[in-house]
Amino acid sequence: MSYFGALLTRTCFRIGYAIAKRLGSEGASVVICSRKESNVGKAVQSLRSEGITVEGVVCHVANHEQRRRLFEVATSKFGGVDILVSNAAINPAVAPILDTDEQIWDKIFDVNVKSSWLLAKEAYPELVKRGGGSIVFISSIAAYQPTEPLGAYGVSKTTLLGLTKAIANETVHENIRVNCVAPGIVATKFASAITNSEAGAEKSLSNVPLKRFGRPEEIAGAVAFLASDDASYITGETVVVAGGAPARL
């Protein structure tokens, strides 16, 4: 499996970090980002200690100038972008969807959906210059099973499934493949309210045939596959990595 330049968002923690590590270990030169400089520095140092070629950028994906900087670094350091992995996501409030404040709704969709669309839009000409490439969005099992406390978050992740299909249809003739990974519940800080609660864990795992939470490395493996030539005949698809949890719209 061979890669060139990979640009990944929100890559300083569990799932994002695992994706960067996996792509880097298989030959990619990676550009990672996070909103906090200290987090970027720690992740870069850790990845480099494992022999991975990596550059880090402080970036809030909703900020145009900071996104532009991502592509500038990828071009100046590694010659361009061949792979984009859009992993940034937030869920600043837990509430039923009809009780969600409009400002919270807008914030969720700005980061979870709009920034993914903008990153793909900005990556597109760079990928064309390289003769093609791969875009991978990170959705969630919540796209298929929106729960009451995470209604707005779930709908934002459902939107990514449609975004994947739409962009894939428009870029296929440029040799650009667009796919999506929908992780189940993974034991990360983001899901700690569920995974650290005995009652929450029991309820969540009741719908998971494998009866355990996922590992970041398992999500990274799916992303690496979709980004690689092994998936050269796959585009517009979402791979659910959720231990067998039901996933139908």
- Residue (of 193, 90, 206) closest to 145 by Cα position: 206
pLDDT reading at 214 higher than 50 = yes
Report the pLDDT averaged over residues 132-145.
96
d(CA 61, CA 179): 20
Considering only residues 13 and 2, tell me which one the structure prediction assigns the higher pLDDT: 13
Query: Do residues 213 and 245 lie in contact, with contact meaning Cβ atoms separated by under 8 Å?
Result: no
Q: How would you list the strands of the sheet with 176-183, edge to edge?
A: 54-58, 29-34, 5-8, 83-86, 133-138, 176-183, 238-241
Report the pLDDT averaged over residues 11-27.
90
Q: Where does the pLDDT of residue 192 fall: very low under 50, low under 70, confident under 90, or very high at 90 and above?
A: low
pLDDT reading at 2 higher than 60 = no
Report the pLDDT averaged over residues 107-123.
97
The predicted pLDDT at position 28 comes to 96
pTM above 0.85, yes or no: yes
Q: Which of 124, 144, 153, 233 is catalytic?
A: 153
pLDDT reading at 230 higher than 90 = yes
Structural domain boundaries in the chain: 6-241
Eight-state DSSP code of residue 113: I
Q: Where does the pLDDT of residue 11 fall: very low under 50, low under 70, confident under 90, or very high at 90 and above?
A: low
Report the pLDDT averaged over residues 95-121.
96
Strand 133-138 relative to strand 176-183, pairing: parallel
- Residue (of 71, 163, 166, 186) closest to 109 by Cα position: 163
Return left, alpha or beta for 51; rule: phi > 0 is left, psi -120 to 50 is alpha, else beta.
left
Structure tokens given for 235: 């585009």
153 in active site? yes
Task: Report the chain's mean pLDDT, rounded to a whole number.
Answer: 92
The predicted pLDDT at position 183 comes to 97
Query: Do residues 222 and 22 lie in contact, with contact meaning Cβ atoms separated by under 8 Å?
Result: no
pLDDT reading at 152 higher than 50 = yes
CA angle 222, 228, 230 (to 5 degrees): 90
Per CATH, the number for 6-241 is: 3.40.50.720
d(CA 230, CA 147): 34
